[in-house]
């Protein structure tokens, strides 16, 4: 089993090609992928805002298939942690909480400024851009 466990932020799961790449690599055990129901909700709602013609039921089916394909990827039990966390964007606290509860090493996100090192260090977490994650830096 891969040693790195990565929580995938909504902006990683939003674009289908990136979501497919990460999921395929997780299924191949290149790394362990984690996400939460709130992260699923966030990427689906963003997609529907930008593409209202999309079918919510089909997107929710995608979430179910992702959860099945990647095994123990769905993090639960993180909500009690949210209120105690501090980030520049309060709306991202659920992401950090899920990373903590999921025992992740890294949060993969395109919004690095939302996850400053000082906020993540107490939890032995880092945030990485997807390019850096795959480069292994």
Give the range of the structural domain holding residue 76, as residue numbers without chain letter: 5-135
- Could you give the CA distance from residue 129 to residue 60 in angstroms, rounded to a whole number? 26
The two three-digit tokens of residue 90, written as one number: 């309060």
pLDDT at 1: 43
For residue 86, give the CATH number of its domain.
Answer: 3.40.50
The two three-digit tokens of residue 27, written as one number: 């299924």
Kindly report, residue by residue over 29-74, the tens digit of the pLDDT. Answer: 899 999 999 999 999 999 999 999 999 999 999 999 999 888 899 9
Kindly report, residue by residue over 76-123, the tens digit of the pLDDT. Answer: 999 999 999 999 999 999 999 999 999 999 999 999 999 999 999 999
Kindly report, residue by residue over 1-19, the tens digit of the pLDDT. Answer: 457 999 999 999 999 999 9
Specify whether the CB–CB gap between 51 and 15 falls below 8 A.
Answer: no
Give me the number of domains the chain comprises: 1
- The enclosing H or E element of 34 equals strand 32-36
pTM score, whole prediction: 0.93
């Amino acid at each position: 089993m891969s040693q790195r466990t990565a929580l995938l932020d909504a902006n990683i799961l939003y674009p289908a090609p990136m979501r497919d790449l990460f999921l395929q690599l997780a299924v191949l055990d290149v790394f362990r992928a984690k996400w939460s129901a709130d992260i699923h909700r966030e990427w689906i709602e963003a997609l529907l805002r930008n593409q209202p013609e999309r079918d919510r039921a089909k997107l929710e089916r995608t979430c179910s298939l992702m959860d099945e394909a990647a095994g123990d990827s769905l993090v639960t039990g993180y909500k009690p942690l949210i209120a105690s966390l501090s980030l520049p964007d309060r709306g991202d606290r659920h992401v950090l909480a899920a990373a903590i509860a999921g025992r992740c090493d890294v949060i993969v996100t395109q919004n690095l400024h939302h996850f400053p090192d000082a906020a993540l260090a107490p939890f032995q977490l880092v945030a990485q851009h997807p390019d850096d994650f795959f480069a292994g830096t």
